[in-house]
């Protein structure tokens, strides 16, 4: 029998919910590209409940324990004395979320003598040292498409919040003020602006589709160019190189995975090629942007605003400069873990486990690595490098 080690974020401060704002969530049968949603044989949860925190347990405990597996759930993931590190040595399967990632560094993988399968409950497996995992022949899987639309909706919200400078206006209401001039002195219309997406995969394309009705000029750069029919439908301008795109855009939204080629892609040099007063929205991964370059660009006025839902490391230390930099709209990596998305990625994790324990192939679209090489979506989107360097700083969050 297997030892399954699952790392989830902490329960709400007020305790695990006894009731919810809505009685249900819409039922979907397929994604926009006609791919079917996760299809486990059964689920042991009600869609729309909090599954991503430690008490929610992704709805997996009954399923795993009925089969005789040991299921360990913790939120204590960082540092050599964490529960995760102590339990990792005997774990056969590790489940983690991008929002509260259990970083599988080369050093940790070397201690994980029994580890055979690492599952991302969500999208993005950059918290795993892919180079080291490939060398060990570990299978890596994630629940492709489970929260792509969730993130795309967040991107549109963040763009509008930045351009219209929504957050200061909200703050004046909280302060009992009516300071209209202060509210609008940095507020503009999105209409007519040039908006570019770094990558046009499931999330990037969904963002572009949702932005078309705003009467903006749409641009994108992507290693796999979209079909001509899609470019024509959305009136997209394709750029073969990112430098070309960012130089003409008022808003840039980052929708590519983090890997060796995209780490610190938005550095001083690239940001300085952007139009002065432009905006960046990053819901991909924090490490795609150079931390200090973003701060300096906001302080100098090269950037008018930055909305990031992603940080490095995660959770971000309390003294992380992105918490206090000017003109930001930062959130704590929540875009892909709405209650709607949780129902899909929890079901997807169960589907992967059912396949694994049943000796059946994992759905190809979920695969990142298998048998020592990139596979499935991993072969399409990743490079076999390592982006976990510096993740040990996440332990600083414990030292509040």
Whether 123 and 241 map to the same domain: the answer is no
Domain match, 152 and 142 both:
no
Q: What is the pLDDT of residues 141-173, one digit of tens each?
A: 999 999 999 999 999 999 999 999 999 999 999
Residue 332 domain flag: no
Annotated active-site residue 223? The verdict is no
Q: What share of the chain is helix, strand, coil (3-state, %, to 5)?
A: 35, 15, 50
Q: Judge if 344 and 202 occupy the same domain.
A: no
pLDDT, one tens digit per residue, over 375-394 is 999 999 999 999 999 999 99
pLDDT score, position 398: 80
Considering the domain architecture, whether residues 160 and 306 belong to the same structural domain is answered as yes
| CA dist., res. 99 & res. 102, Å (int) | 10
Q: Are residues 241 and 283 in the same domain?
A: yes
Q: Catalytic residue, from 108, 202, 333, 344: name it.
A: 333
Residue 399 in this model has a pLDDT that exceeds 80: no
Mean pLDDT of 65-78: 98
Domain membership flag for residue 40: yes
Catalytic residue among 147, 255, 282, 342: 147
Q: Of the candidates 281, 299, 323, which is a domain's last residue? A: 323
Whole-angstrom distance, CA of residue 338 vs CA of residue 51? 10
DSSP, collapsed to helix, strand or coil, labels residue 36 as strand
Domain containing residue 364:
3-146+338-398
CA dihedral 74, 142, 382, 258 (to 10 degrees): -50
Domain presence at residue 85: yes
Contact assessment for residue 134 and residue 110, using Cβ atoms and an 8 Å cutoff: no
| CATH number of the domain where residue 82 is located | 3.40.50.720
List the catalytic residue out of 259, 285, 327, 328.
285
**Domain check: are 376 and 315 in the same one?**
no
Domain contains 242: yes
- Catalytic member of 108, 314, 328, 363: 314
pLDDT beyond 80 at 284: yes
* Whether residue 285 sits in one domain with residue 198: yes
When pLDDT is averaged across residues 9-14 and rounded to a whole number, the result is 98
CA distance 207 to 203: 6
Q: What is the mean pLDDT of residues 252-259?
A: 97
Of the residues 295, 323, 351, which one is the last residue of a structural domain? 323
Is 225 domain-assigned? yes
Active site residue 267: no
103 lies in the same domain as 157: no
pLDDT digits 0-9 by tens, 46-70: 999 999 999 999 999 999 999 999 9
The answer to whether position 224 is within a domain reads yes
211 pLDDT more than 90: yes
Residues 183 and 306 in one domain: yes
Where residue 254 falls among pLDDT bands split at 50, 70, 90? very high
Same-domain status, 79 and 109: yes
Tell me what pLDDT residue 295 has.
Answer: 98
Identify the bridge partners of residue 194 per DSSP, sorted by sequence position.
Answer: 217
Say if residue 119 is in the same domain as residue 177: no
Section 192-212 average pLDDT: 98
Instruction: For residue 195, tell me if it sits in a domain.
Output: yes
pLDDT, average across residues 311-337: 97
Q: Are residues 165 and 240 in the same domain?
A: yes
Which pLDDT does position 400 carry in this prediction? 59
Q: How far apart are CA 68 and CA 357, in angstroms?
A: 11
386 counts as catalytic: no
- Please state the domain count of the chain: 2
pLDDT mean across residues, the chain: 97
Q: Is residue 36 part of a domain?
A: yes
Q: Any idea which of 289-293, 309-313, 396-400 has the lowest mean pLDDT? A: 396-400
Neighbours of 145 (CB within 10 A): 26
Q: CB under 8 Å to 121, separation ≥6 — which residues? A: 8, 52, 58, 95, 96, 97, 143, 345, 346, 348, 349
């Amino acid at each position: 029998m297997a030892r399954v080690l699952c790392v989830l974020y902490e329960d709400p401060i007020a305790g695990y919910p006894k009731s919810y704002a809505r009685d249900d969530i819409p039922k979907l049968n397929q994604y926009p590209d006609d791919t079917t949603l996760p299809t486990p044989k059964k689920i042991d949860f009600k869609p729309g409940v909090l599954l991503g925190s430690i008490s929610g347990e992704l709805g997996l405990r009954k399923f795993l324990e009925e089969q005789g597996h040991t299921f360990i759930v913790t939120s204590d993931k960082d540092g050599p004395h964490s529960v995760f590190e102590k339990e990792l040595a005997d774990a056969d399967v590790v489940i983690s979320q991008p929002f509260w990632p259990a970083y599988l560094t080369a050093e940790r993988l070397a201690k994980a003598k029994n580890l055979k399968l690492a599952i991302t409950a969500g999208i993005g497996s950059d918290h795993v040292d892919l180079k080291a995992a490939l060398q060990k022949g570990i299978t890596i899987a994630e629940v492709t498409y489970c929260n792509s639309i969730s993130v795309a909706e967040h991107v549109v919200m963040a763009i509008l919040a930045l351009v219209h400078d929504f957050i200061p206006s909200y703050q004046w209401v909280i302060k009992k003020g009516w300071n209209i001039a202060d509210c609008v002195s940095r507020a503009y219309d999105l209409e007519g602006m040039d908006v570019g997406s770094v990558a046009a995969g499931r999330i990037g394309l969904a963002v572009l589709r949702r932005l078309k009705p705003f009467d903006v000029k749409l641009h994108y750069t992507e290693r796999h160019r979209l079909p001509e029919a899609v470019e024509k439908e959305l009136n997209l301008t394709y750029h073969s190189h990112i430098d070309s795109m960012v130089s003409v855009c008022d808003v840039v939204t980052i929708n590519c995975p983090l890997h060796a080629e995209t780490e610190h892609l938005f550095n001083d040099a690239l940001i300085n090629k952007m139009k002065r007063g432009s905006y960046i929205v990053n819901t991909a991964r924090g490490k795609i942007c150079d931390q200090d370059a973003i701060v300096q660009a906001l302080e100098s006025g090269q950037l008018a605003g930055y909305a990031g839902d992603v940080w490095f490391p995660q959770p971000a230390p309390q003294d992380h400069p992105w918490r206090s930099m000017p003109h930001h709209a930062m959130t704590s990596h929540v875009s892909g873990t709405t209650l709607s998305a949780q129902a899909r990625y929890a079901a997807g994790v169960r589907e992967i486990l059912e396949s694994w324990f049943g000796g059946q192939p994992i759905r190809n679209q979920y695969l990142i690595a298998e048998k020592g090489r990139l596979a499935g979506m991993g072969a399409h989107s990743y490079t076999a490098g390592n982006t976990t360097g510096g993740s040990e700083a996440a332990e600083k969050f414990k030292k509040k």
